[in-house]
Structure 1
Amino acid sequence: MAIPLLEYAPASRNVRVEGFEVASDEQPRIFSTDNILSDSDMGNLIEAAYRQIFFHAFAADREPILESQLRNGQITVREFIRGLTLSNTFTRSFYDLNSNYRFVEQCVQRILGRDVYSEREKIAWSIVIATKGRAGFINDLLNSDEYLEAFGDNIVPYQRRRVLASGASEVPFNIKSPRYEEYYRAKFGFPQNIWQTTVRRYTSSDRQPKTGDPALFRSMAQSINPSGNLPQRVSALNIDYERKVPYRQR
């Protein structure tokens, strides 16, 4: 018999307050299959889903079967998100390398689009992981009333209400809660501080010299050190002009 979800009080976060701010670059872009007009729009939606769940997906991390099913209308966006969070990549990178509490925090951020309300919510969902397993926990998040009211079946989850009342914006989830916890970050050897003693300069392609440009041979010309004959220092008063003038001899 599964233990019922432990009750926790939702905090008064800005995610639970209606927004009146004017649309700007800080506002999240909503990707939904309701307004797909071309194949490129579907590609942008898929990339947005990868960014939300993985932050960055390498070629080996992608799920071509799920992408094909979504493009053909066989599954919804919610089912696509379910497949990504149950994939081997998400399991290996998030579940295996984090504690249950940290895994709860990251899943709530990526699936529900908000931070956890309190430590009590972490404990409540951790009990679900212990009783129902990882798949049961993710299914409960995707089947929750909060998810269905915020995103439904067709909208890619996003970080809700990043703009605060003061005009500042919250830190993105991928920066606030990186994929690996501190122990594994130290084990993998990052972050690394790289100090450079030389200043690197960047020149755009339109300003780089083309073939035949004299600037390409400037260094070669500067490396040449020609040594010519010095001019003779002879005074004009010591020159016998009469003897120097050619004349015909008889």
Structure 2
Amino acid sequence: MSIPLLEYTPSSQNQRVVSFEIPGDEKPRIYTTDNLPSATEMDALILAAYRQIFHEQQMLSSNRQIILESQLRTGMITVREFIRGLVLSDSFRRLNYDVNNNYRFVEICVQRVLGRRIYSDREKFAWSIVLATKGIAGFITELLNSEEYLDNFGDHTVPFQRRRILPQRSRGELPFERMARYDTDYRDQLPRRGYIPMNLQTFLRSRNRDLVLLTIGSGLAVIATLSLLTYFGLFPQIGPY
């Protein structure tokens, strides 16, 4: 018996506020297959899907899913199935799931699949339970089959970050592309894994040693300068009266 998704209350975020702004450069472009796109438009749609799921930091040729791209071009799968294939790919799992805990992975998937940040810790805990009980495939299926995803993107539209700009605000929300893919818990594990050559104590010891050497070097430089000035008669020699 599977555990049902816990209830959580949606908070008021940008994508839930009625929009009155004039469309501009910051308004997200919608990529869809509803109107039978040309080959060039299909290339742009696939690129937009990679940018949304992998983000620009992870858009490498080694992460391309050639078979999924071919199936999408020939109409064998929908955009929603293509998104599912990208999220469940080995590359996405290695770059995002293996380096994070369940809570951070849930945040990443909600941002990239549903196009918004999480509402609260309760929503994060609710989806984390789904991830722990149903695995990655079950968790992604729940997201893609959710009413929110179907209402906003359906089967033929690439997900996008919804409504970054809120009227009467000088700055919008931070783009998800600029957010780190791993949380602080993974960063704290780096010294134990040997990725950081020195810990804080070693750094402080080396810093203190450098300060001592710098002080000694500065003192020797001052003495040498005074000796030269005295030798050339530019500095009076200090002696008894």
TM-score by length of 2: 0.75
Partner of 1:174: 177
Partner of 1:193: none
Q: How well do the aligned residues superpose, as a CA RMSD in angstroms? A: 1.4
- The whole-number CA distance in structure 2 between the counterparts of 1:9 and 1:180 is 26
- Tell me the CA shift for residue 179 of structure 1: 1.7
Partner of 1:98: 100
Question: In the comparison of the two structures, how many residue pairs are matched?
Answer: 188
Percent identity between the two aligned chains: 61
Partner of 1:228: none
Q: 1:175 to 1:36 in 2, by over 3 A?
A: same
Code of the aligned partner of 1:134: I
Code of the aligned partner of 1:44: A
Q: Is the 8 A contact 2:80 2:158 kept in 1?
A: yes
1:19 aligns with 2:22: no
Q: Is the 8 A contact 1:26 1:169 kept in 2?
A: no
- The whole-number CA distance in structure 2 between the counterparts of 1:122 and 1:100 is 9
- Tell me the CA shift for residue 34 of structure 1: 1.5
- The whole-number CA distance in structure 2 between the counterparts of 1:14 and 1:95 is 27
Partner of 2:158: 156
- The whole-number CA distance in structure 1 between the counterparts of 2:18 and 2:173 is 16
The structure with the greater share of residues assigned to helix is: 2
- The whole-number CA distance in structure 2 between the counterparts of 1:90 and 1:74 is 22
Code of the aligned partner of 1:172: P
- The whole-number CA distance in structure 2 between the counterparts of 1:52 and 1:5 is 25
Q: Is the 8 A contact 2:20 2:167 kept in 1?
A: no
Q: Which has the larger radius of gyration?
A: 1
Q: Is the 8 A contact 1:109 1:115 kept in 2?
A: yes
- The whole-number CA distance in structure 1 between the counterparts of 2:145 and 2:118 is 17
Q: Is the 8 A contact 1:32 1:155 kept in 2?
A: yes
Question: Secondary structure at the residue paired with 2:34?
Answer: helix
Code of the aligned partner of 2:156: N
Per-residue CA distance 1:72-108 (angstroms, 9 max, x = gap): 0000000000000000011001111101000000000
Question: Secondary structure at the residue paired with 1:153?
Answer: coil
33-42 or 68-77, larger mean C-alpha shift: 33-42
Partner of 2:7: 7
TM-score by length of 1: 0.72
Any unmatched runs of 5+ in structure 2? Answer: 197-241
Q: Is the 8 A contact 1:78 1:152 kept in 2?
A: yes
- Tell me the CA shift for residue 143 of structure 1: 0.2
Per-residue CA distance 1:48-71 (angstroms, 9 max, x = gap): 000000013211100000000000
- The whole-number CA distance in structure 1 between the counterparts of 2:187 and 2:91 is 17
- The whole-number CA distance in structure 1 between the counterparts of 2:104 and 2:113 is 14
Partner of 1:229: none
Per-residue CA distance 1:117-173 (angstroms, 9 max, x = gap): 000000000000111111100100000000000000000000001111224221101
